[in-house]
Amino acid sequence: MWLVLAIRASRTYFSTQLIQMTSLPERNKPSLFALAAAFAAVYLIWGSTYLGIKFAIVTLPAFAMAGMRFLIAGCLLFTYCLLTGQPKPQPRQWINTTIVGALLLLGGNGCVVWAAQHVPSGIVALLVAVLPMWMVLIEWLRPAGTNPSRGVLIGLVVGFAGVAVLMNPSTSLGNDSIKMVPTLVLLLGGLLWATGSIYSRRAKMPASLLVSTSMQMLAGGALLLMVGAFRGDFTKFNPDAVSALSIGAFAYLIVFGSLIGFSAYVWLLQVSTPARVATYAYVNPIVALLGWAIDGEAMGLRTFIAAGVIIVAVAFITMAGPGTAKKQQEKTKGAFEVIELARS
């Protein structure tokens, strides 16, 4: 059922968005249907990729798998851009897209891939759900950013309390406590992903979002492969040991996770606010149930309580009113989109 919904969302997304992603003037005026299709693609597809990563790395080296996933998707998309006459990127744009690719894919996705080897996919999805909190904190701390409102501050406190519940080594809530290091790595990955998401909105990027997306995947994939080579992924790789399940999951991650899901995310960052885009984190706690139902992952009382607390926290942040801009000029039209971060 989940796969059917993902396929339908992806077909709708590509049928409505391929043209709108090609140039800046068009991407500023997306249709409501296009937005709904892109959000559906991100909600449904990305929710399933955590389990896909877990299946892929059963018999495939983690960082080599992640690097090849994005490198293949980036090559396919970049080739399409060249064949269809998309504007060629400038050298400075390669620098910026490499920075974004490093933050999003090497930093964000790399942390997820590493942690997925040590904790259940549901826990990975649950900790990634704190993304809106990182968005708010970065916006708060950056120069000329936005001071969070009282409701947002409450959401931040509640959210990190939920993370503390998950990390608490006490057995009073059951024996399903998780390892400290993977948890911290996942939190770091969320911070890097949020940083890259906000940076991408201000950096000089290619006019074509298809070109920009492909460049980010090429850069991020290459960096992930470098890390994999340093870790010895290629020397440990045994082709005879690769299972059909891992190959299927790898193919799913390329097509649905990278070409469709990541492309939809990059496009949404330009036509909507990071706060609204980050609401895909609402779906993540449901993914914990997906891993439990499909793969029999353990879910104890601690995980259920932490999931509930984090959902409440994200709801507080999303429904709270906007904060106060640090500088008066931040009330201009362009900066108003950034101030909307406080709504997440």
Q: Which two tokens mark 272?
A: 């909507």
pLDDT of residue 151: 80
As a whole number of angstroms, the distance between CA 337 and CA 272 comes to 8
Q: Give me the residue label for tokens 């330009």.
A: 270
Q: What are the pLDDT digits (tens) for 118-161? A: 888 878 888 887 887 888 888 788 777 777 788 888 888 888 88
Which of 29-38, 70-79, 120-129 has the highest mean predicted lDDT (pLDDT)? 70-79
Q: Residue 45: exposed, middle, or buried by beta-carbon count in 10 A (0-12, 13-18, 19+)? A: buried
Where is 146: in which H helix or E strand? strand 146-147
Neighbours of 241 (CB within 10 A): 10
As a whole number of angstroms, the distance between CA 11 and CA 137 comes to 35
- The DSSP letter of residue 119 is S
As a whole number of angstroms, the distance between CA 314 and CA 154 comes to 10
Q: Which two tokens mark 301?
A: 């009382």
Query: Taking the CA atoms of the chain, what radius of gyration do you get in angstroms?
Result: 19
Average pLDDT over the chain, rounded to an integer: 79
CB neighbour list of residue 239: distance below 8 Å, 6 or more residues apart: none
Give first-to-last CA distance, the chain, whole Å: 29
Question: Please, are residues 14 and 40 in contact by the beta-carbon 8 Å criterion?
Answer: no
pLDDT at residue 7 tops 90: no
As a whole number of angstroms, the distance between CA 324 and CA 344 comes to 15
- The DSSP letter of residue 278 is G
Q: Give me the residue label for tokens 């932490």.
A: 306
Q: What are the pLDDT digits (tens) for 254-294? A: 999 999 989 898 888 888 877 677 777 767 666 656 666 77
- At 102, is the pLDDT very low, low, confident or very high (cuts 50, 70, 90)? very high
